[in-house]
Amino acid sequence: MSTNKAFIQPLDRVAIALILLLSLLIGFLIMQGDVVTARVRDFSWQNQQIGAEDLAFTLTFSRPMDTKSVEDNLKIYPDDVEGKFSWAGRRMVYTLKSPATYGINYQVKLQGAKDKFSSIEGKNRVIQPFTGNFRTRDRIISYIGADPENQGQLILYNLTQGQLKVLTPKDLIVMDFKPFPDGDRILFSARSSKSQDLLSAQLYTVTTGIAGESGQAQPPGKVDLTLDNKDYQNLKFDLSPDGETIVVQRGNKANPGDFGLWFMPATSDKSEEKPTPKRLQSQPGGDFIITPDSKAVAVAQGQGAAILPIQGDANKPLDFLPQFGLVQAFSKDGSQAAMVKFNTDYTRDLFLVTNQGIQKPLLKTPGSIIDCQFYPAPASSTLYCLLTQLISQAEYVEQPYVVAIDLKTGAQKPLLVLPIDQRNVQMSISPDGSSLLFDQVKPQTNADASSANTLTTDDGEAIASSSLWFMPLLPIDDAAINSIRPEKLPLVGFHPRWLP
């Protein structure tokens, strides 16, 4: 009988050895307990650029975490951006109380936090150190040039990078403008530099060279006609907060009695014809502003302020406030509005009106309420207003000033007093709430405001020159707020606005 081959072949011996080795390793791990190090799997803002509308980021962990240890050890540099935490399993959400400051590269760091099981077992196993990076948009302003070289042209100035771009051609005199929410385009009204008709404005869009939602930036200065003036004069206009709708106040050239609001899409499908405006079926009104949800328009109408739907029957207002003659501003979330009441004694009252039906008086003035803007946080508690105080009632001389109003307490904090008789001041609060921008117009003397090349203010006053000023803003209860002084920018222009 022949001898049998070895029962265990070499390959079998290798397999058995590996099984024994793995068994030993598994046993060792079981004896050691759970030693897998926790780490951050995903950071929602990693290497992204964010804007004022971005108010929350998420961290997703590989293991359930000790939430308190995470909250105690999460740091944001260089600014300690205040916010609140919320949790859903392994996912943490950090919601900012106010927008992050523009023009900054941020780091989010987490080290020393423990996972949930480590705390329960009394062991000192900490998370793998994590560093995330994101940046905010550049601090960019837009304005209308008032120097001889760029007179009437729309200009973009990047404060972060110190770069200036002229966006519109010399043959257009820009009269007003509204940036789109992504900052990639600007909607503006302009008349021909050869026309002396101040009511001959058409609506255009121009690219800024900034990347929009698509992530791709178009070259700056590409101008497209949006709405002509063939049959109607285009007067005031507004762009909805979502950038989708334009509302225009128009008057029929052939029939002065045909006057009212029109609406149209702000963008169109390239495969379709250019969108045409539609009449808002409502009674004629005065000043107007689109609501924060972009679905309605608040307009001074008759003896009050009406909230009219943009789509649908505008003859049936969503709301009507007979005691108020003007809506100055809405808070970012639409829960509050600053409204003006015109009194029979020629004074004006400023009210805070909420969606809960509260009508809170803020101030009374014999002067003017030129503009009001809420601090750009969802539930704003501060209102900035540009007002005038009456210096001489006989000659009706006014002095403009800027005041911050604490909406919770009603306390007022004067921030800035401007030269006498400068009613045409324009102000703009930065989207991150850190700065105030305003202009100082120098009027022409004995000037013909009807000249084609003459720049004019909203009141028709001829402009000789204008300077732009920048002022940091601090919380209203900060003791250092009284020491802040405005800084003159090396720019000649008027009607300044921050890009979103």
Confidence of residue 119 (pLDDT cuts 50, 70, 90): low
Average pLDDT over residues 350-358: 93
Q: What is the pLDDT of residues 434-473, one digit of tens each?
A: 999 999 988 877 655 555 567 887 777 788 889 999 999 9
Question: Which segments within 44-198 are labelled E, that is strand?
Answer: 48-50, 56-61, 74-77, 83-88, 91-96, 105-110, 130-136, 140-145, 154-158, 163-166, 172-179, 185-192
Cα distance between residue 52 and residue 139, in whole Å: 11
Average pLDDT over residues 488-492: 95
What is the β-pairing status of strands 326-330 and 319-321? unpaired
Confidence of residue 271 (pLDDT cuts 50, 70, 90): very low
- In the prediction, which pLDDT does 3 show? 45
What percentage of residues in the chain have a pLDDT greater than 90? 64
Confidence of residue 172 (pLDDT cuts 50, 70, 90): very high
- In the prediction, which pLDDT does 2 show? 46
Is the peptide bond preceding residue 78 cis, with omega within 30 degrees of 0? yes
- In the prediction, which pLDDT does 80 show? 76
Counting Cα atoms < 13 Å in the Cβ hemisphere of 466 gives: 27
Q: What is the pLDDT of residues 207-263, one digit of tens each?
A: 999 987 767 888 999 999 999 999 999 999 999 999 999 999 999 999 888 889 999
Collect all residues with Cβ–Cβ distance below 8 Å to 201 and sequence separation of at least 6.
Answer: 175, 189, 190, 191, 229, 233, 234, 235
CB atoms under 10 Å from CB of 175, counted, come to 20
Residues, the chain, total?
500
Element (H, E) at 403: strand 397-406
More confident position, 393 or 323: 323
Which range is most confident: 114-123, 248-257, 314-323? 248-257
Dump the DSSP string for 193-247: TT---TT--EEEEEE-S---TTS-PPPTT-EEEEE--SSEEEEEEEE-TTSSEEE
SS3 letters for 3-29? CCCCCCCHHHHHHHHHHHHHHHHHHHH
More confident position, 312 or 28: 312
* 221 to 76, 157, 166, 204: CA distances (angstroms): 37, 14, 7, 11
- In the prediction, which pLDDT does 81 show? 87
What percentage of residues in the chain have a pLDDT greater than 70? 91
SS3 letters for 284-306? CCCCEEECCCCCEEEEEECCEEE
Collect all residues with Cβ–Cβ distance below 8 Å to 119 and sequence separation of at least 6.
Answer: 66, 69
Q: Is the pLDDT assigned to residue 199 strictly greater than 90?
A: no
The mean pLDDT value of the chain amounts to: 88
- In the prediction, which pLDDT does 340 show? 96
Cα distance between residue 298 and residue 308, in whole Å: 6
For residue 422, what are its two tokens? 């400068």
Average pLDDT over residues 189-196: 88
Average pLDDT over residues 289-301: 94
Phi then psi for residue 185, to 5 deg, are: -140, 165
Q: Are 234 and 248 in contact (CB under 8 A)?
A: yes
Q: Is the pLDDT assigned to residue 302 strictly greater than 90?
A: no
Collect all residues with Cβ–Cβ distance below 8 Å to 22 and sequence separation of at least 6.
Answer: none
193: exposed, middle or buried (C-beta count within 10 Å: 0-12, 13-18, 19+)?
middle
Collect all residues with Cβ–Cβ distance below 8 Å to 25 and sequence separation of at least 6.
Answer: none
pTM exceeds 0.95: no
Collect all residues with Cβ–Cβ distance below 8 Å to 135 and sequence separation of at least 6.
Answer: 48, 49, 50, 104, 105, 106
- In the prediction, which pLDDT does 168 show? 98
More confident position, 156 or 395: 156
Q: Could you tell me if residue 357 is left (phi over 0), alpha (psi between -120 and 50 degrees) or otherwise beta?
A: left
For residue 109, what are its two tokens? 């760091």
Average pLDDT over residues 201-206: 96
Q: Is the pLDDT assigned to residue 34 strictly greater than 80?
A: no
Phi then psi for residue 12, to 5 deg, are: -65, -40
Cα distance between residue 335 and residue 360, in whole Å: 14
